Amino acid sequence: AQSVSQHNHHVILSEAASLELGCNYSYGGTVNLFWYVQYPGQHLQLLLKYFSGDPLVKGIKGFEAEFIKSKFSFNLRKPSVQWSDTAEYFCAVILNPTGGGNKLTFGTGTQLKVEL
Amino acid sequence: SQTIHQWPATLVQPVGSPLSLECTVEGTSNPNLYWYRQAAGRGLQLLFYSVGIGQISSEVPQNLSASRPQDRQFILSSKKLLLSDSGFYLCAWSGRAGETQYFGPGTRLLVL
């Protein structure tokens, strides 16, 4: 079955450390890729997305992600994290987007804690 | 701008009781609407989606049902809640192309 894997369930970093969260999906066709973030007590928010074109996409708050088709990966990166980046991060994929009621398949999420 | 509302924010219900969770969207017309559930330690799972009034697609067999009585209203229901229905329920909307989904604040349901 098609799935989305986030291998890092809990990550603890110090401020200014670099971040990379892994996301892999298992599907050989066309995909739309997303990273969502949920800050404590807040809505799930869109961080960035990739549909086509440049495989390196930039999102809000200094985050970026790179789509590597050959590796079925869409890893999230930030060069220098801040305490305010403490949140849960979800990778999500639309498999074979049809332009209708597309189903988002989510990974299990990664809890990031940034320590001062 | 578009906004999405869900209520109630928190709900504690006994096993066997009925359920009705409401989601409304403002600032857009003819949205696609979605219900997701997030269980502790797991990702979000799509429960239902709707591309129009009265049109409901179910993704997983379960104890829940959904209805869309108006263009921008999406309701999640159950006739008799089970313990396993506890979780965090999120409503989302997207445009007709269905590409990017935007989420509401969620309802935390605890079934005792």
In chain B, how many domains are there? 1
Instruction: Give A-chain residues touching B92 at CB under 8 angstroms.
Output: 104
Structure token digits, residue B11: 């709900």
* pLDDT tens per residue, range B55-67: 999 887 778 999 9
B15 lies in which domain range? 3-111
Residue-wise pLDDT for A33-64, tens only, equals 999 999 998 889 999 999 999 999 999 999 99
How many CB pairs below 8 A link A and B? 63
Return the number of other C-beta atoms located less than 10 Å from residue A35's C-beta.
25
Report chain B's terminal Cα–Cα distance, integer Å.
38
Listed residue (A4, A87, A108) closest to A38, CA to CA: A87
**By percentage, how much of chain A surpasses pLDDT 70?**
96
A108–B41 C-beta distance less than 8 A: yes
Across the interface, whether the CB atoms of A102 and B98 are under 8 A apart is answered: yes
What number of other Cβ atoms are within 10 A of residue A12's Cβ?
A: 11
Mean pLDDT confidence for A11-29 = 94
Say yes or no for a CB contact (<8 Å) between B43 and A107: yes
Q: What is the CATH number of the domain that holds A47?
A: 2.60.40.10
Instruction: Give yes or no for B56 touching A (CB within 8 A).
Output: no
User: What pLDDT, on the 0 to 100 scale, is given for residue B42?
Assistant: 72
Residue B83 token pair:
């313990």
Whether B59 contacts chain A with CB within 8 A: yes
pLDDT band at B95 (very low <50, low <70, confident <90, very high): confident
**In whole numbers, what is the pLDDT of chain A averaged over residues?**
92
Per-residue CA distances from A71 to A22, A28, A52, A74, A106 (Å): 11, 11, 16, 9, 18
Residue predicted with more confidence, B20 or A104:
B20
Residue B34: its chain A contacts at CB < 8 A? 101, 104
Which chain A residues are within 8 Å of B102, Cβ to Cβ? 46
d(CA B17, CA B11): 12
B98–A contact, CB cutoff 8 A:
yes
Distance from the Cα of B14 to chain A's closest Cα (Å) equals 25
Q: What is the CATH number of the domain that holds B91?
A: 2.60.40.10
Any chain B CB within 8 A of the CB of A12?
Answer: no
The arithmetic mean of pLDDT across residues B16-35, rounded, is: 95
Distance CA A30, CA B31 (A): 23
Under an 8 A CB cutoff, do B104 and A43 touch?
yes
CA pseudo-torsion sign B81, B84, B86, B88: negative
User: Which structure tokens are listed for B84?
Assistant: 């396993």
Of B13-22, B27-36, B41-50, B69-78, the least confident = B41-50
User: Please, are residues B76 and B21 in contact by the beta-carbon 8 Å criterion?
Assistant: yes
| A49 and B CB contact within 8 Å | yes
User: What are the chain B neighbours of A43 within 8 Å (beta carbons)?
Assistant: 103-106
Mean pLDDT of B48-53: 92
Residue A39 is part of which domain span? Answer: 4-115
